[in-house]
Structure formats: structure tokens, C-alpha cells
């Protein structure tokens, strides 16, 4: 029996699905992030070692895993694919390997097809679509330093901004302040600044603050509700060019990522905005995740190589 594996290398973690050659899912698991735009070389190497040790155990050895597909965040960086492949080969895997953007694997998993539109808002954000004519378009996904609007990182940054602006009088006092202080276990704005600019703080640490938004919105906090609306609008800005470029004003837009799945106020606002813009378009949660989409792509390569 041969096996395939699909990896979804997101901003803060890697989801892995292993299936047999007939498509039956054998096991899924979570490991560390493999995103070169947000992680250091050492942590990525450790994550790969852990991932491939588990794949080997599940398959009865890496030689039994015929194809692996990695959908990774950050592949816009031209050096990333080569570095990821080097990591894989260092782990002793010599089988078939396909490395692509996580937006492509996410679309496949979300729609069970390579056609349609997927909007992802997790640690980062991206929208991608492909129509039946083969035309594709992508917006966003260019990293937290210059992009990732509407993402968990964006929300975390906005929450921290609200804290400092409330402290100096640019905003009214907000419930966000105490919530952020409690999560970070700090007591002053100066300590917030120390956290933000510490060299050990990365984008996933900022994104980890995002769940605070829902609690603050539930409390009716004006600043929090404004942040939710702002980020929902940013997500709509990602979706519109894809919809227009592909002429997909009717149909289904699949949503994925922690923000769209867990941040109720952001998701609700986004869906309302989308419906106002495109009354005949429905937004739904992705059918399956990107690691399963990667499995489908790996299976496609496996079967095509046999023909």
C-alpha cells in the first residue's frame, strides 16, 4: 500500500493529513510552523523533523509515502520553495514532492475542486480564485510587514494600537486595555511597547491577541466594534478584485482561517458586506481544510504518474 501526505504550512502551525492511495484518510496531526516569512531557520528545521518522523511512523517508513504536497504560506518569496525542498530532503524523504501556495491547496480543500474562490484570514490573509476557463487571480498574502489586512495579525496589531491610543487620549477608554494586559500579563503601556519591539516577539505572538476582539465586541466596546468592521472591510477589499477578475459574481465564496471561522463579529460583518455587493453570492465555511486539499493534489500526481 502506498500513501500520500498533504501539509498546510500556515503562519503559526502546520496541519498534516496522511491518506492511502485510494484517498482514505489515515491520520491527521498538527506540528510547528514552516513559514520562512515568520519563523527562524532552526524552528522550521525542528518542525520538519517532527513532521517527517510522524509521517514515517504512520506509513511504515518514508519509502511507502509516494507523494507529498506542501501548501505553504510565503511562497511569493522566490527563495522559499528551494529552502522548503531542502528541508524535506534533509529529513530523508526522496519521493514525489509538490510545493505550492497554501491558497491553492486551501481552494481545493474548500471547494473539493480547483475552481471557485477561497478567502483565508488566519494569522495572515489572502484571497484566491480560479474559474473554469483556467483564469486565476490572487489578492493579498504578501506578509505582515506590508500586507495581511483583515488577518489575525492585523487584528492583534489594531488591539495593541487601541491600548496605546486610549492611554494617551486619542481614543476613549476601552475594555480592550485590561483584556490585553491580562493576556500578556503586563500592567503598563511601557511593558506593551517592550513586548511589541522585543526581538523575540513574532507575528504569531501578535496574532494570538486576536480572540480578545470577540470578547470585547460582545461587551459592546466601541473601539472593538470599530476594529471588527475595519477588518471585515479589508477582507471585502481582498475578495472584490478576485470576484471581478473571474466574473464570479454568482456562486460560492469559501471562507477559511481562524478569523473567519472564529471571530463572529468580523465574519458577520464581512458576509453582510459581501451580500450587499453581490446579492447572488453565498459565503460558506470551507468544506475541508487545506491539508486535505494538499492530499487531493498529491493523489492527482500519484495517479497521473501511474498512467
What CATH code is carried by the domain that includes residue 174? 3.30.420.40
- Spatial contact of 253 and 239, defined as CB atoms under 8 Å apart: yes
Domain count, the chain: 2
Averaged over 222-233, what is the pLDDT? 98
Whether residues 151 and 191 share a domain: the answer is yes
Whether residues 90 and 169 share a domain: the answer is no
Query: Is pLDDT at 285 greater than 60 in this prediction?
Result: yes
Whether residues 197 and 261 share a domain: the answer is yes
Whether residues 82 and 231 share a domain: the answer is no
Percent of the chain predicted with pLDDT > 90: 83
Percent of the chain predicted with pLDDT > 70: 98
Whether residues 296 and 261 share a domain: the answer is no
* pLDDT tens-digit map of 43-69: 999 999 999 999 999 999 999 999 999
Whether residues 184 and 297 share a domain: the answer is no
The pLDDT of residue 307 is: 55
Rounded-to-integer distance, Cα 228 and Cα 222, Å: 10
Q: How far is CA 292 from the centre of its chain?
A: 14
306 — pLDDT class (breaks 50, 70, 90) = low
Averaged over 274-303, what is the pLDDT? 95
Mean pLDDT of the chain: 94
Whether residues 134 and 264 share a domain: the answer is yes
Whether residues 262 and 188 share a domain: the answer is yes
Whether residues 103 and 18 share a domain: the answer is yes
Whether residues 281 and 294 share a domain: the answer is no
Domain that holds residue 41: 3-110+289-306
Whether residues 302 and 220 share a domain: the answer is no
Whether residues 101 and 168 share a domain: the answer is no
Amino acid at each position: 500500500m502506498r500513501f500520500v501526505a498533504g501539509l498546510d504550512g500556515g503562519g503559526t502551525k502546520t496541519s498534516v493529513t496522511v491518506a492511502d492511495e485510494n484517498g482514505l484518510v489515515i491520520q491527521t496531526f498538527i506540528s510547528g510552523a514552516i513559514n520562512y516569512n515568520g519563523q527562524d531557520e532552526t524552528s522550521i528545521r525542528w518542525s520538519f523533523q517532527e513532521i517527517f518522523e510522524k509521517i514515517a511512523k504512520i506509513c511504515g517508513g518514508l519509502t511507502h509515502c509516494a507523494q507529498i504536497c506542501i501548501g505553504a504560506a510565503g511562497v511569493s518569496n522566490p527563495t522559499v520553495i528551494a529552502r522548503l525542498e531542502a528541508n524535506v530532503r534533509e529529513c530523508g524523504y526522496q519521493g514525489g514532492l509538490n510545493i505550492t501556495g497554501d491558497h491553492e491547496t486551501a481552494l481545493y480543500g474548500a471547494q473539493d475542486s480547483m475552481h471557485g474562490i477561497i478567502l483565508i484570514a488566519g494569522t495572515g490573509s489572502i484571497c484566491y480564485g480560479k474559474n473554469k476557463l483556467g483564469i486565476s487571480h490572487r489578492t493579498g498574502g504578501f506578509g505582515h510587514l506590508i500586507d495581511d489586512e483583515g488577518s489575525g495579525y492585523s487584528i492583534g496589531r489594531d488591539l495593541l494600537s487601541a491600548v496605546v491610543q486610549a492611554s494617551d487620549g486619542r481614543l476613549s477608554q476601552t475594555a480592550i486595555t485590561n483584556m490585553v494586559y491580562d493576556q500578556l500579563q503586563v500592567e503598563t503601556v511601557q511593558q506593551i511597547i517592550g513586548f511589541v519591539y522585543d526581538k523575540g516577539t513574532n507575528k504569531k505572538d501578535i496574532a494570538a491577541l486576536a480572540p480578545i476582539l470577540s470578547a470585547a465586541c460582545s461587551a459592546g466596546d466601541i473601539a472593538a466594534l470599530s476594529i471588527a468592521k475595519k477588518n471585515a472591510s479589508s477582507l471585502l477589499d481582498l475578495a472584490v478584485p478576485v470576484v471581478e477578475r473571474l466574473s464570479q459574481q454568482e456562486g460560492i465564496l469559501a471562507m477559511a482561517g481562524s478569523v473567519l471561522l472564529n471571530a463572529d463579529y468580523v465574519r458577520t460583518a464581512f458576509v453582510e458586506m459581501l451580500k450587499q455587493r453581490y446579492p447572488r453570492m453565498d459565503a460558506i465555511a470551507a468544506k475541508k481544510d487545506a491539508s486535505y486539499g494538499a492530499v487531493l493534489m498529491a493523489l492527482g500526481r500519484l495517479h497521473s504518474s501511474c498512467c
